[in-house]
Amino acid sequence: MSGDQRRTRRLAHLAELAATPPGHAAVALAVAAAVPLGDFDTDRATVASALGTGFTVADLPSDSPPTRPHTSGSGSASEWIDHVVVQGAGLSSAAVETMDGLSDHNLVRATVTV
């Protein structure tokens, strides 16, 4: 998800898609769960605000490494922009696992309970 002016529309569209299970047109089922996750290119508070009520964004421990670390020579600050989000499900045990250079992002994981 890009960090430009389209972010708000994209997050609104994601919320709409998550609320409408595949094959059910505009009718959302109370038993349906959705787990949008990945690189949102923005902080947790922005994602939570944009998606609205009914969605829970994993709260990473305060001592977590950044989800998008930057090396000292990159000129950019590290960021916490990757998230696990649920709707219609429980979310616990969120954590960031260091990838030690195998990717430009660290792994974000959480336990999802339906």
Domain ranges of the chain: 7-113
What's this model's pTM, rounded to 2 decimal places?
A: 0.79
pLDDT at 28: 47
What phi and psi, each to the nearest 5 degrees, are found at residue 59? -100, 105
Dist. CA 70–CA 79, nearest whole Å: 8
Helix (H, G, I), strand (E, B) or coil at 4: coil
Q: Would you say 59 and 92 are in contact if contact means Cβ atoms under 8 Å apart?
A: no
pLDDT in tens, 44-97: 999 999 999 999 999 999 999 999 998 766 667 889 999 999 999 999 999 999
Query: Cα–Cα distance between 18 and 86 in angstroms, integer?
Result: 9
99-113 pLDDT tens trace: 998 999 999 999 999
Q: How far apart are CA 113 and CA 110, in angstroms?
A: 10
**Measured torsion, CA atoms of residues 17, 22, 24, 26, in degrees rounded to the nearest 10:** 10
pLDDT band at 24 (very low <50, low <70, confident <90, very high): low
